[in-house]
Amino acid sequence: MTFGNAWPYTAADVNRFRSKVDLSDGCWMWTGTTSPKGYGLISIGPRAQCRQVRAHRMAWEIANEQRVPDGLVVRHHCDTPGCVRPDHLAVGTTADNNRDILERGRGATGDRNGSRKHRERVARGERQHLAKLTDHLVREARRRYSEGTADLPTLAAEAGVHVSTMHAAVQGDTWAHVTNHEVVQ
């Protein structure tokens, strides 16, 4: 194989790459280091100039004896991040890759999206560092407003927030995690 002056891999790099691939009937799985999302990673070059490359990208470049053109990505037809089998890979744009994600139902949309999937990771209410209200204040404001003993401007002034902020909290548009209350219509 001749790759020309622009080729970034030495014979040692290619041999090390091949030693970390599990050849099987289906996907050829990467057995080396992986990213948190399961994509294979390999370090290339001498220590002083070492850089990390995605294994599926390197697999495509080795198989096609050329660099991935600038601005393009290597996509998986098999939807397996750890796969490095060249006939499961294709070059395309980021838009092509995003279209694949949507068409195959792999996108984190709706209830599979970050803040909905991991609600415990999102700072809500008192855990949000800029919050002026507390769970107790919101419950009390909702109770007083529903009983008619206080209006929104009064509640907002007492809490030190804008009337629209208090309105959203009382209606349940914000502070929805605060339970045991009546949402006033």
Per-residue pLDDT, averaged over 14-33, amounts to: 93
Element (H, E) at 44: strand 41-44
Question: Do residues 158 and 151 lie in contact, with contact meaning Cβ atoms separated by under 8 Å?
Answer: no
Share of the chain above pLDDT 90, in %: 64
- The band of 40, judged by pLDDT with boundaries at 50, 70 and 90, is very high
**Which of 160, 155, 135 minimizes the C-alpha distance to 145?**
155
**Which of 45, 21, 46 minimizes the C-alpha distance to 32?**
21
Domain parsing of the chain, residue ranges: 11-110, 120-171
Statement: residue 78 has pLDDT above 50: yes
Give the pLDDT confidence score for residue 134 in this predicted structure.
93
pTM higher than the cut 0.85: no
**Which of 56, 66, 1 minimizes the C-alpha distance to 29?**
56
pLDDT digits (tens, 9 = 90+) for 121-143: 777 788 888 899 999 999 999 99
Amino acid identity of 4?
G
CA 145 vs. chain centroid, Å, equals 40
β partners of residue 44: 51
Give the pLDDT confidence score for residue 18 in this predicted structure.
94
Per-residue pLDDT, averaged over 44-68, amounts to: 90
Statement: residue 33 has pLDDT above 70: yes
Question: Do residues 55 and 39 lie in contact, with contact meaning Cβ atoms separated by under 8 Å?
Answer: yes
Assigned fold of 11-110: Homing Intron 3 (I-Ppo) Encoded Endonuclease; Chain A (3.90.75)
Per-residue pLDDT, averaged over 62-80, amounts to: 94
